[in-house]
Amino acid sequence: MAGDVDAFETAAREVNAEVTRTTAGEFDAAMEDVLVDPAVGTPLPYHGVSLPGWVETDPSPSDLAAAATGVTSAGLGVVESGSVVVESTAAGEDPTSLFPERHVAVLAASDLVADVSAAVEHLAAVAGEGRDAVIETGPSATADMGALVYGAHGPRAVHVVVIEDR
């Protein structure tokens, strides 16, 4: 398992995502390091883990537009590609991970899968239930303006926080 986290971290850094490894006990301190104010977020489903109270968890569109950070859970992490899978609910994971300049994805180490094909199997079930999801690999990017630029329409930076004991 620790080997998977190592491999995930290496792959995520290769696609220009940042990675912080933490535990449920250290989670609050880790959040203070990675969140940039103002932040919006969606509830985290991990036992004993929650967002700092100052993060807006019921954002209006103008909150989304003004936020520096959007923090969401990640349904899966993909070891081979360093991707996270962000699943949409009515709480707004999709806009929260998309509009702010910085996306913080919180991932439980137990939700790591080996490769894209494994993620696709999971996504077939998600789609079957009528839910949307995105496999997010690094920041939003474009080469259309004559050179590679991060932060095209989506986030300029992606930071994955891996909770190793969840």
Partner 1 sequence: MSSREQKAAEIRRLLATEGEAVSENARGFNRGREEATAELDDYDELKATARARKEDAIERLPELIEQVRESVEARGGNVYLAEDEADANAYVREVADGADVETAVKSKSMTTEEIELNEALGAAGVDVWETDLGEFVLQVAEEAPSHLVGPAIHRDRESIAELFEAHFDPGESLETADDLTRFARTFLGERIADADLGLTGANFVAAEEGTLVLVTSEGNARKTVTATDVHVAVAGAEKLLPSVADLGPFLELIARSATGQSLTSYLTFLTPPGSAPTVDFEGDEMGAPGDREFHLVLLDNGRFEMREDEQLRETLYCIRCGACANACANFQQVGGHAFGGETYTGGIAGGWEAGVHGLDSAAEFNDLCTGCTRCVPACPVGIDVPWINTVVRDRVERGADPSRFDFLVDGLAPDAESGGSLQKRLFGNVGTLAKVASMTAPVSNWLVQSTLGKWALARLGVDPRRDLPQFRRRTLRDWFESRGRTRVANPEREVVLYPDVYTDYADVERGKAAVRALEAVGVGVRIPSLPESGRAPLSQGMIATAEQAAERVLDGLEPHLDAGRDVVVVEPSDLAMFRRDYDRLVPERVDRLAANSYEVLEYLHGVLANGADLDALADLDGERLAFHPHCQARTLELAAHTEWVLEERGADVETTTAECCGMAGSFGYKQEYYELSVAVGEALSAELPEDRRVVASGTSCLDQLADLGRSPRHPVELLASAG
Q: Which of 57, 135, 164, 165 binds partner 1 (CB under 8 A)?
A: 135
**Per CB under 8 A, 142 contacts partner 1:** yes
Q: Which of 7, 24, 36, 126 binds partner 1 (CB under 8 A)?
A: 126
Choose between 77 and 92: whose C-beta lies nearer to partner 1: 92
Choose between 3 and 128: whose C-beta lies nearer to partner 1: 128
* Alpha carbon 57 to its chain's center: 15
Residues 55-74 that bind partner 1 (CB under 8 A): 59-62, 64-65
Binding residues (CB under 8 A) for partner 1: these are 15, 59-62, 64-65, 81, 83, 87-90, 92-95, 98-99, 116-117, 120-121, 123-124, 126-128, 130-149, 151-155
